[in-house]
Structure 1
């Protein structure tokens, strides 16, 4: 009996030692971020919740050997053949691709959001056209299936309703979900396995669809000889087993594997000026497409597959920036366009820059100005709104609000 209790005491002691050691290591890991957060915090009582949330985020993001634990947990889930992780935060389809999803009973009502886009259209001058470009959801209708018990979020049905509202309001639309399975790219290669974004070749196909759509709207075609939309006129550099996306960073490589990544850029002569700003950070770059519009840092960084700054998808246009202005010096008399967009559209817009004069990008999450005011004050031929099905929520439509009728939109991604 004495030996029995001695073993219990030793086990408890070792458990406390390990727990204390991990606590100290975690504190050391999070010390600098916590110091910065607390040093710059607004300590008014009304801001208490915000401070707590930031401190919690700092601690969660700076756990000692965080991704070692993520990999170990993901490996155990894979051994048990589980198709979901962390209470359905990330799920697997029958093909092994990861998805964000949630339990829903039907599509979300997005009438208020489509009304805001329509209001944007009424504020533009007579010469400026407006088009909504609906990028596809990773759940590809007619191809993707979930195992039994995995919830479906009705993103596609929500997008259907949203586009119907826009059409009723007389807004021009381009639905890139149409023809997606007939574009020549194998269905399994349309989207990354470990990321919610489409692959770069899919974005290039979408660029061609957008050009064809615009050719039907303007007397002068953007690419009359189909030169700029021909992928044979671009370098395609493959990187094998190279990319772990946002979903894979939550589950680990051992759970879902990793992805190939293709870097696509023009073979032909290009000359750009590229300006971007988010908050106080801004820069201007000049040169060829690959010098001005691409950042090679995510492709060159070694040994940090989980580092957000090494996200390969954001090789194009330096990722999500508050405001961007791309000037194509080879097309001084081309169209001037504005995109109000989310991240899915970034590589598509990069390729579109080859056939227009100026491209402005606004990301509603990071741009602090008035988007409608910016559109009205800028010399534009065309305004595009391109928010993907999973992002049809209030955060991405902070304009055109009618305070007398709008209620908060409580839908979630």
Structure 2
């Protein structure tokens, strides 16, 4: 020890300062490393919990003097790894959290004396919880709730009602669900519930927006909104075709055409069997030989007979045809054509009068319009063509004295 002090005393003042700082730094570093090594590792206790439940959990942890960490804006709580299971059991015994999603673990505490109604109710709750858990796994969904309504089974099949389901999702900040994700969620839920069809599942978010409005189909059909859009699109297309022809024939502004269609959105499946009598195929052939021998020695003659039976089958073709929906069931066309304007000059003043168009011209116009829109008499389509003068001098209410506003000095 004296040798160390002797060496230290021989050092220059600056060297003593540097050595002292190094010793102090080493001691501080050892304390920091010791603290980090002794710091417990943390694991997730709960995630995606509501604020009310998070407040209850934090309050309970503070009362029990258990260290914790808050992540994801307070929605994830972490506690020491070695205590996570014990803490979770203690929280469950106190009914915390109360908003947790319940799945099939609800049957872990089932009793033998449970009624059939309670069993069905628990199964529905478990199924709803499991579906919600799976939906939450989507990247853009923060939380989800699923409600399933399964009607009681009826003795008569015709009176049996179909089950329905409703899904409410809370999207993450800035997230949106595309059509593929919406379709996937609807199909996932419908395939998880017996007898549930996709068009009986509704999906909405917490903002009140119905996300499944364009997906209410059964795989082949078209949703109601899409039916209206298709109807309106075809009507506008046919009206524009006929209007373009009339504008080139009678002039722009001298005609109007409106088309109304009735579409058939029913899915029709037909199975046809076609038989061809001219085309036969041998499916079996049987030959029978019979030999008759004389009854006495004198009559030694023998007779041999042979009979062949061939079974034929007529060629048969089976076709399964599914007719697409959206076919035009009925067409109604209303067309109005302006009369021909004619200028008459009398005593230096000119007057415009309107004369009806010739009948042969109206017949030609009718034929043009019918051909342009695809008129079919076998479909019971309706058509009307009217030749009347158009009103060109429409009075403006703003310029009419009857509607004028009195001035200040009236």
TM-score bin (small chain): under 0.3
Bigger RCO (CA 8 Å, 6+ sep): 1
TM-score, normalised by the number of residues in structure 2: 0.19
TM-score, normalised by the number of residues in structure 1: 0.19
Where is the strand percentage greater, Structure 1 or Structure 2?
A: 2
